[in-house]
Amino acid sequence: MKAWFRMDLWKRVMIGLVIGTLIGLGLRYGLSEEASARAAEYFKPFGDLFLNLIRMLVVPLIFLTLVSGVLSMGDPKKLGSLGGRAIGVYMCTTAVAVTLGLVIGTILQPGAGFDVGSVSQDDIESTRQRLESAGAMETAGVFEQIMRTVLAIVPTNPVDAMARGDVLPVIFFAIMFGIGILMAGEAGKPVADAFNSASEAILKLTLLIMETAPYGVMALMAWVMAAYGLDVVIALGMMTLALYLACGLHMLITHGFLMKFIAKLPLLPFYRGITDAQMVAFSTSSSSGTLPVTMSVAQKNLGIKKPVASSVLPLGATINMDGTALYQGLIALFAAQALGIDMNFGMYITVAVMATLVSIGTAGIPSVSLFLATTTLGVIGATPEQMLLILAPLFAFDRLLDMMRTVTNVTGDLAVSTVVARWENEIDTEVFVAEDRY
């Protein structure tokens, strides 16, 4: 028992992930479909409990640490350079991700053998309802899309934005409030001290809650595998392969490039340092939900300092979704191949631009990609009926694909934060390379 608790957290989480996967697969393929679905339901509440615990931290963590981050920066101008750099690199990595999705989709042709006639009417109906209730069937133009995002950033009521868990308006208000405290000078000192102390406390609480991660991840994996199994591999074999391959390459090559050549830091400590966050992302399928873990590993394992970790990571959890954008490229090609639509060069470019834009203003929650996909499919000229034919099977088997996209999204946020922290001299490289963590 003592040995278990002495073991590094990431190893314990990894063990939880493997055991959960094995339990889930055992149930799925050892029992009848009905019995395994029932067994899955026993695991779900434990997974949800873990998810609730980390979600509970999202808003207070962003608000408290970001206000305190702005205070420790001391100069609002620095925030401008930091934000500008972060957004610039985020956009570039997202564009590379869509391109990679389009390239892999062109090579592997995931939609070529897919028979749209085999999609069941029930799946089409449930997909239509999901998309309509999320308002995803009303597609917007580029200008409208940008303005929607910009307007969503400024909250009319910050408390309401916090209650709804809307990350971008909370970021906006926290920055403005931090600037207000700085401008108040001496009079703002007591509240500044209070924020600094509260942000330390919430970071400690995050570490405490992370101790439950091995069990939470195990329960989530047991539930996912018992409920969904590996059916996606059979149903959407090429699509699954294409997504996993493209995401893997993106994390290794694009993020590896950022680390090695832009941040000029070694790769291994980076990948080892972020394992906790990747595994939580994989099991929860939500990069917003994973945010507290992402912020915690950034500071504890990568040595990224508060001003960068508290601003660049929450921003990334909403605006930077490499895996999601990459998947938009793949979906476009999957649809074009399955529906027999000819993609010309202009369409490739529009898909890339649209995918980058739509992946911005949306929160990182499970299956968000599929709600965004109506816009991408609109670009290649699919009718609403055709969109349903494509999205229905993807919805039915999305979970395993979503898990990989979410890992890629979170890895992207951490890679870009490391780069920005390096540029801004806000990283403790001794912590980054520390061996005793392992």
DSSP lists the bridge partners of residue 163 as none
Q: Is 330 helix (H, G, I), strand (E, B) or coil?
A: helix
Binding characters for ligand ASP, 315-334, by CB under 6 A (x = yes)? ------x-xx--x-------
Q: Is 287 in the site for ligand ASP (CB under 6 A)?
A: yes
Question: Minimum distance from CB of 17 to ligand ASP (Å)?
Answer: 17
Question: Minimum distance from CB of 254 to ligand ASP (Å)?
Answer: 17
Closer by beta carbon to ligand ASP, 356 or else 369 = 369
Chain residue at closest Cβ approach to ligand ASP: 364
Closer by beta carbon to ligand ASP, 223 or else 327 = 327
First-to-final CA distance of the chain? 19
Q: Is 365 in the site for ligand ASP (CB under 6 A)?
A: yes
Q: Is 250 in the site for ligand ASP (CB under 6 A)?
A: no
Closer by beta carbon to ligand ASP, 73 or else 321 = 321
Q: Is 285 in the site for ligand ASP (CB under 6 A)?
A: yes
Q: Is 94 in the site for ligand ASP (CB under 6 A)?
A: no
Closer by beta carbon to ligand ASP, 43 or else 327 = 327
Question: Minimum distance from CB of 360 to ligand ASP (Å)?
Answer: 12
Do 225 and 25 form a contact (C-beta atoms < 8 A)? yes
Which run of H or E residues covers position 134? none
Q: Give the integer Cα–Cα distance in Å for 387 and 392.
A: 8
Q: Give the integer Cα–Cα distance in Å for 146 and 169.
A: 16
Q: Is 367 in the site for ligand ASP (CB under 6 A)?
A: yes
Do 265 and 432 form a contact (C-beta atoms < 8 A)? yes
- DSSP at 236: T
Stretch that binds ligand ASP, among 78-86, 155-163, 164-172, 284-292 (CB under 6 A): 284-292
Phi-psi map region of 101: left, alpha, beta (phi>0 left; psi -120 to 50 alpha): alpha
Binding characters for ligand ASP, 380-419, by CB under 6 A (x = yes)? ----------------------x--xx--x----------
What share of residues in the chain are helix, strand, coil (percent, to 5)? 80, 0, 15
Question: Minimum distance from CB of 287 to ligand ASP (Å)?
Answer: 3
Do 398 and 367 form a contact (C-beta atoms < 8 A)? yes
Q: Give the integer Cα–Cα distance in Å for 155 and 162.
A: 10
Closer by beta carbon to ligand ASP, 356 or else 409 = 409
Question: Minimum distance from CB of 274 to ligand ASP (Å)?
Answer: 15
Q: Is 368 in the site for ligand ASP (CB under 6 A)?
A: yes
Question: Minimum distance from CB of 306 to ligand ASP (Å)?
Answer: 24
Which run of H or E residues covers position 298? helix 287-300
Question: Minimum distance from CB of 365 to ligand ASP (Å)?
Answer: 5
Do 202 and 65 form a contact (C-beta atoms < 8 A)? yes
Q: Give the integer Cα–Cα distance in Å for 305 and 308.
A: 6
As given in the structure block, the two tokens for residue 252 are 């290794």
Residues contributing to the site for ligand ASP (CB under 6 A): 285-287, 321, 323-324, 327, 364-369, 402, 405-406, 409
